[in-house]
Chain A
Amino acid sequence: MLTKRIIPCLDIKNGRVVKGVNFVNLRDAGDPVELAAFYDREGADELVFLDITASVEGRLAFLDIVRRTAEQVFIPFTVGGGIRTVEEIREVLRAGADKVSLNSAAVNDPDLITRAARQFGSQCIVVAIDAKAEKDKAGKWGVYTHGGRKYTGKSVISWAQEVEERGAGEILLTSMDRDGTADGFDLELLQKVSESVNIPVIASGGAGELEHFYSAFAIGKADAVLAASIFHFGKFRVKEVKEYLEHKGVPVRW
């Protein structure tokens, strides 16, 4: 039976992990490669690296991290942040990433998804969708970019279906209403999207308690859950989340 995945996400700026990371036993908790190896040992099923650098130097440092990670970590990892062209996708895949995550670039140029999937295969194209509930319209969500500041005019459900049609292999769905709140995932959004597409949906935004993970799978029908601070700040370990899920009857990998 296919297990449900737990995916820690690392934000990286100028080659360093941002957001404080509270771990003992790590020589350098700011080193993405060391942190990635740590999460691998902890039982993470995959990893996501998000490059939030704008500069050219930061970009080169990021590629170097992807290369070094691929030499040391033997679980799948996805790379996202600022990838705009097929050439840039090729660059990170060659550096050793298994998948790329496209966000604004896919919104601005949906054909990029089609071209990338044709070139590299759907299995390595993840489309990230930042969703925000529309005011006064229950059960409707809009697609946003720029950290939730810019409305694209697209509805989340139809955009999710379009990216699937264009060849995306997975959807990384972030609720901008819940992101950073630790109040739990937007289960209604998650369930609607999961039931509207036939590709895996990764839930993101809002993980704060163990039961949030469970409800994302049981109610939200997610295939995987992505979380950052809950792991980085050491509130829960990946192992604790998995033990809880297994106890509740969700299949997990050991």
Chain B
Amino acid sequence: MIGIIDYGLGNLRSVQKAFELLGYSADLVADKNQFDRFNALVLPGVGSFGQGVHNLQRRDLFEPIKKWALEGKPLLGICLGMQLLFTESEEAPGVNGLDIYPGRVVRFSSKLKVPQVGWNRLEMKKDSPLFSGLEKGQFAYFVHSYYVVPEQDDLIVLESNYGVDFPAAIGERNCWGVQFHPEKSGKTGLKILSNFGGMYDEGNSGD
């Protein structure tokens, strides 16, 4: 069973429906005491970094999520959920992120329109089981004004370009993040969610 963390931000229903369509079981979770029910957690989210941290703390989910990831259990952050995995963000100076990975979240400084809204091309930087089966140069749907700059360069799995090269997906071992919305990226996104379900949702088989 995959747990989709409900902390009052984001379109949780689409993520859940995508997993269900793929043959995996997924449920929303808003209570840390329920975490045991799940093999893997997804941290979705749209909105601001400060609001995200605030909501996680208010619902007593901040430390439990961090502990979950640091114990080696599977976690996938989507959009703001990916940014929250890092140390801090320009969007909310002085606010601490989950700091599972060291790094900063910075704003697009280009003369292009911000937020970036739409489909952008994905460039594979390293092989990773979560992103296996993606064809070269596929597209994903992005809506964001900020992007992550991990301290470790080799954390970057997929890269994209919007005036600047930025990480579209990061992660290793058990903890992953995607800046785009896999639940809104057509078959490319469904493939990634299917890989995630296949890797972690034991007892269920997707097709």
Contacts and interface: CB of A to CB of B under 8 A. Distances in A.
Contacts of A74: 14, 18, 21, 183-186, 189-190
Given A1-B120, A199-B113, 13 more contacts: A1-B161, A2-B120, A3-B119, A3-B121, A4-B118, A40-B186, A70-B17, A74-B189, A96-B11, A123-B115, A169-B115, A223-B118, A254-B139
B13 interface: yes
Nearest to A202: B117
B28 interface: no
A198 B185 contact: no
Contact of A76 (B18, B141, B162): B141
B117 A169 contact: yes
Main secondary structure of the interface of B (DSSP, over half): mixed
B46 A45 contact: no
Nearest to A71: B17
B30 to A, nearest CB: 15
B14 A2 contact: no
Contacts, number: 80
A121 B45 CA distance: 11
B199 interface: no
Interface string A212-230: 0000000000011000000
A170 interface: yes
18 contacts: A1-B161, A3-B120, A4-B118, A5-B119, A45-B119, A75-B141, A75-B186, A76-B141, A94-B13, A96-B13, A96-B14, A98-B184, A122-B115, A123-B115, A200-B118, A224-B118, A253-B119, A253-B139
A223 B21 contact: no
A74 B18 CA distance: 7
A71 B143 CA distance: 21
Interface string A19-34: 0000000000000000
